[in-house]
Amino acid sequence: MASSSATSSAKDKTLIVVESPSKAKTINKYLGKDYMVFASVGHIKDLPKKEIGLDFDNHYEPRYEVIAGKEKVVRQLKKLAGEASDILIATDPDREGEAIAWHIANEVDFTRKPVHRVLFNEITKKAIVEAIQHPHQIDYRLVRSQQTRQGLDKIVGYKISPFLWNVVLRGLSAGRVQSVALRLICERENEIEKFQPKEYWTIIADFTTATGETFSAKLVKINGNKAEINNGEEAEKTASAILSRIYGVAAITPKLQQRKPPLPFTTSLLQQAASNQLGFGSKKTMRIAQQLYEGIEIGAEGATGLITYMRTDSTRISSEAVEQAERYITQQYGTEYTGGTKAAKNSKKTQDAHEAIRPTLVSHTPDTMKQFLSPDQFKLYALIWKRFLASRMAPAKIEQTRVEVSDHEQQFLFRASGSKVLFPGFLKVYNEQKELDYEARKSTRDDEEKEQIVQLPKKLSVNETLNLDDLEKKQSFTRPPARYTEASLVKELDNYGIGRPSTYAGIFSTLQDRRYVELQKKKIIPTELGRDVSVILVANFPDIFNVKFTAHMENELDKVATGEDDYEEVLDSFYRPLETALSVRKNDPLLPQNHDAETCDKCGKGKMVIKWTASGKFLGCSNYPSCRNIKPIASAKVRPTETGIRCPGCSNGRMVLRNGRFGPFLACTNYPKCNTILKLDKQRKIEPPKTPPLETDLDCPKCGAPLYLRTGKRGLWLGCSKFPKCRGRQAWGQLDPSIQQHWQEAMEEHQAKHPLVTLRMVDGSPVDMRMSIDDIIARAEENGLVEIDNGEEQEKPAEER
């Protein structure tokens, strides 16, 4: 077994080093007693946390140190390397994995033994044996590429974040890619706010044939021009004219279409499809995909990798996998269903070295694997399996028929479209047309309006007279650009060439952690802080936080990986313009929010400029501290949102959704009489109410304050009651058994007095804690559980003030 215990020995064995214990377990299953598999559990070394870690006077050379907590892993790694006959490093097949391999190789260099690199695109017996038989050297170009990316990110974090501390608020941070993503989100929000909707009307007619069959058709032309009806008056006038005419079939145009099967998943497409179809966030998708790649226990087969490597830009499939899929398709559906699409060329991206994301064995169908997988693992595996199989199937053949209906004077032209599947092809397996339409779209701004498909009469002929039965006049308004979802944000970044497979998952969660954005009803909305930060960064560093420049830097990183560009030159091309901009803006920052600042009404000299604090913004005199004039910034009060949830702390209160300085939370309508607060997690799901801590008479070893007794995942634990000012802890295991017994009994009594509360809606039904608060509110509205409060907003809870 893979092991990291001090008693393990690699004497006279081949040592194979991987990152994760589950990956080690899967690989170990396929190898005999001559191999020892050891897990480093990710990176063992990194740039220092509290400093930039780059030597600017020595070609930007990075300075690495062992990650805190990894000292024991490094000691054991060295011990095993010293005992082993050979050393193979089998970390993930990407830039990050290559960097980990390089650090491990440096740590075991003292052995003077040759160290080789092996790559597994899939963790199957054949792939592992073949990789071990063909080892090679660590690719230092990939290591340099990873170092370049890390160096760029460090430079931004350590050079621009302090700028934000000085001009906005201490503790804020900037990121090379995240700040550009924030800019896109904020600019989209600005477009939405400035959008002016325009009214338009559509007219739908219901026609009946002589045999009694009916169908609907849309008015598309008036007197040969596109039908544009801008108001109700025009609609009424047009409708009156339409009703006075006699109609017949002007044209019937059948068209045979071949709908090509989709390409298999890349990382970007997988994250988008998992978000759209399964509701998974990017981080969750990649976490589950990692589990499927590293290995799942599947009965007698043991730990088995179910999918290929999940960080890839490639849509290429190996010939062996193609043959495997075609055999399966032939057996299950027939030879006529085989076919498939060719991989798109993607030579500019280094990750194209890997295959697309696919199942390692097509015979591991979702149904046969379901018993071994968690519900989320099953959903994602089924999505990957179906997509891959569909990519190797024949195109679907669809007959689309367009019918045009006109009046006898040819003033009005109506159009209806119908379709009939002649041969389903890949649709037998993957009939996700909405997802495929989404992927085909170039823009993320809005939903493209598609021609409505209707059921056409079975018998219809040109010049056939039709009866006009009914006319529907529909008022609509043009819509603003759509807010980004996690899926469409990844799509936008991918379209621009910003970020790479290993970075997509962390972009949104980083912005959310920094409180720059919020997720509401699956839409990404910038916070006021996020918008302020974005405006200031773009104003002061327009050439750095720029979509084209960031995409250019991504290409430069890829060139480092292929040896076309140099580590130092790329960092230099980024750092020097940044240093120049910083030297100009450090003492003269541009703050667009203050361009129209009014003169101070107290001193008459300074300007009343916006200043930021942890709890919000205010106006303060620029002559501070000479003039201490301050004023609140007037803002419209946002009424709290009713949730339909009964307050668990009092008998007649309701929980409402509020926004505080730490983000959204739920509070009781009976505040200040009832102080009940419920927190929301990053997915805007309600965190279950916890049992309050039990105050003990034990003293904190750091400050002497009473210790609180709490229940955690590992049992009882003691922490200082003054947290977070004091972070003192007392180890439960070090207490005398009699004291442990006393406080264990006390905790049981305490828990009996404070039983866990089941949250309920106002109608008594339990709250579904798996749903986000937005979905809970939507369901409450549907069921009529939400009370409309027309009064003034109540005083805000202390947490919000």
Tokens of 709: 């007794």
The residues that bridge with 423 in the sheet, in sequence order, are 397
Contact 682, 773 (CB under 8 A): no
Tokens of 437: 């339409």
Name the amino acid, one letter, at 351. Q
**What is the Cα–Cα distance from 514 to 193, expressed in whole angstroms?**
23
**What is the Cα–Cα distance from 149 to 142, expressed in whole angstroms?**
11
Number of Cβ atoms within 10 Å of the Cβ of 61: 14
Contact 359, 271 (CB under 8 A): no
The residues that bridge with 544 in the sheet, in sequence order, are none
Burial of residue 356 (CB within 10 Å: 0-12, 13-18, 19+) is buried
Question: For residue 532, which of 524, 543, 540 has the smallest C-alpha distance?
Answer: 540
**What is the Cα–Cα distance from 233 to 535, expressed in whole angstroms?**
44
Contact 774, 680 (CB under 8 A): no
The structure tokens 């946390």 sit at 49
Angle between helices 547-562 and 140-167 (to 10 degrees): 150
Name the amino acid, one letter, at 138. I
How do beta strands 199-208 and 630-632 pair? unpaired
**What is the Cα–Cα distance from 385 to 526, expressed in whole angstroms?**
36
Contact 650, 780 (CB under 8 A): no
Q: State the sign of the Cα–Cα–Cα–Cα dihedral 650, 656, 661, 664.
A: positive
Tokens of 112: 């003077």
Question: Is residue 724 reached through a cis peptide bond, with omega within 30 degrees of 0 on the bond before it?
Answer: yes
Q: What does 246-261 look like in DSSP terms, one character per residue? A: -EEEEEEEEEEEEEPP
Q: Which of 309, 337, 575, 708 is catalytic?
A: 309
* 524-545: b (≥16 Cβ within 10 Å) or e: bbbbebbbbbbbbbbbbbeebb
Burial of residue 546 (CB within 10 Å: 0-12, 13-18, 19+) is middle
Q: Is 293 a catalytic residue?
A: no
The residues that bridge with 686 in the sheet, in sequence order, are 680
**What is the Cα–Cα distance from 608 to 594, expressed in whole angstroms?**
8
Contact 678, 655 (CB under 8 A): yes
DSSP strands (E only) in 574-691: 598-599, 607-613, 616-621, 630-632, 641-646, 654-660, 663-668, 677-679
DSSP state of 569: H
Question: For residue 247, which of 462, 473, 468 has the smallest C-alpha distance?
Answer: 468
**What is the Cα–Cα distance from 9 to 280, expressed in whole angstroms?**
42
**What is the Cα–Cα distance from 97 to 121, expressed in whole angstroms?**
12
Tokens of 222: 């008036």
* 294-325: b (≥16 Cβ within 10 Å) or e: bbbebeeeebbbbbbbbbbbbbbbeeebeebb
Distance, CA of 91 to chain centre: 25
> Which residues are known to be catalytic?
309
